[in-house]
Amino acid sequence: MLHKTKGIVLRAVKYGDTSLIVSMFTELFGIQSYIINGVRSFTAKQPARANHFQPATFLEMVVYHDDKKNLQRIKEFKISVLYTDIYRNVHKNAVALFMIELIQKSLKQPESNPELYEFIEDSFVQLDQATSIVAANFPLYFSLHLAQFFGFKIQDNYDEEHQILDLLEGSYIKYYPEHSHYLEGEMSETTFKILEVTHPDQLEDLLLGREQRQVLTAAYINYYSYHQPEFGAMRTIGVLQMLFR
The amino acid sitting at 66 is: D
In contact, 94 and 239? CB cutoff 8 Å: yes
Q: What is the mean pLDDT of the segment spanning 130-159?
A: 96
Tell me the pLDDT band of 245, cut-offs 50, 70 and 90: low
* Other CB atoms within 10 Å distance of the CB of residue 70: 8
Residue type, 236: T
User: How many Cα atoms occupy the beta-carbon half-sphere of 123 within 13 Å?
Assistant: 26
Superfamily of domain 1-82: Nucleic acid-binding proteins (2.40.50.140)
Q: What is the pTM of this model?
A: 0.93
SS3 66: coil
pLDDT digit string, tens, across residues 32-88: 999 988 776 665 445 447 778 999 999 999 999 988 888 999 999 999 999 999 999
Contact predicate 133/92, CB 8 Å: no
| Chain length of the chain | 245
Maximum C-alpha span of the chain: 69
Give the pLDDT of residue 40: 63
Q: What pLDDT was estimated at residue 44? A: 43
Q: Where are the domains of the chain?
A: 1-82, 84-245
Neighbours of 95 (CB within 10 A): 29
Mean pLDDT of the chain: 91
Q: How many CA atoms lie within 13 A of 10 on its CB side?
A: 21
Give the contacts of 164 (CB within 8 A, at least 6 positions apart): 172, 173, 174, 175, 176, 177, 182, 183, 184, 188
Distance CA 234, CA 94 (A): 13
Integer Cα distance of 198 and 138 in angstroms: 13
Q: Three-state DSSP class for 76?
A: strand
| DSSP code for 159 | S
- With CA atoms as reference, report the closest residue to 200 among 56, 76, 99, 77: 99
What CATH number is given for 84-245 in this structure?
1.20.1440.120
- Long-range Cβ pairs for the range 17-24 (8 Å, 24+): 17/41, 20/50, 20/53, 21/71, 22/53, 23/104, 24/59
Nearest 5°: the CA angle 27, 32, 35 is 120
Closest residue by Cα to residue 29 from 103, 109, 110: 110
pLDDT single digits (tens) 80-111: 999 999 999 999 999 999 999 999 999 988 88
Residues 24 and 180: their CA atoms lie apart, in Å, by 37
